[in-house]
Amino acid sequence: MITADFAKMALELPPEERLELARRLVESMVAPSPLEDAVAEGIRRIEDVLSGHIKPLTEAEFRNALK
């Protein structure tokens, strides 16, 4: 099976399973400690948004925040 086939199957998973798969893939990569900490923080923030603990910005809110 090629990478595109895996990607297609992964994208068909429910959101919770995709998040778990993403977490496992990221954690499988070897990275220096500061990068590992940043990746862990990024995963935590994604989980906060997906769980509803944090409300994500709309595109308009994001663009206005950049001004």
- pLDDT, tens only, 5-51: 999 999 999 988 998 898 888 878 766 677 778 888 888 898 898 88
Q: How high is the pLDDT of residue 30? A: 66
Range of the structural domain that residue 50 is part of: 3-66
User: Which secondary structure element, helix H or strand E, spans residue 66, and what is its range?
Assistant: helix 59-66
Q: How far is CA 26 from CA 22, 37, 38, 48, 54, in A?
A: 6, 12, 11, 17, 22
Q: How many domains does the chain have?
A: 1
pTM over 0.75: no
As given in the structure block, the two tokens for residue 37 are 């900490």
pLDDT, tens digit, 9 for 90 and up, residues 43-62: 889 889 888 999 888 999 99
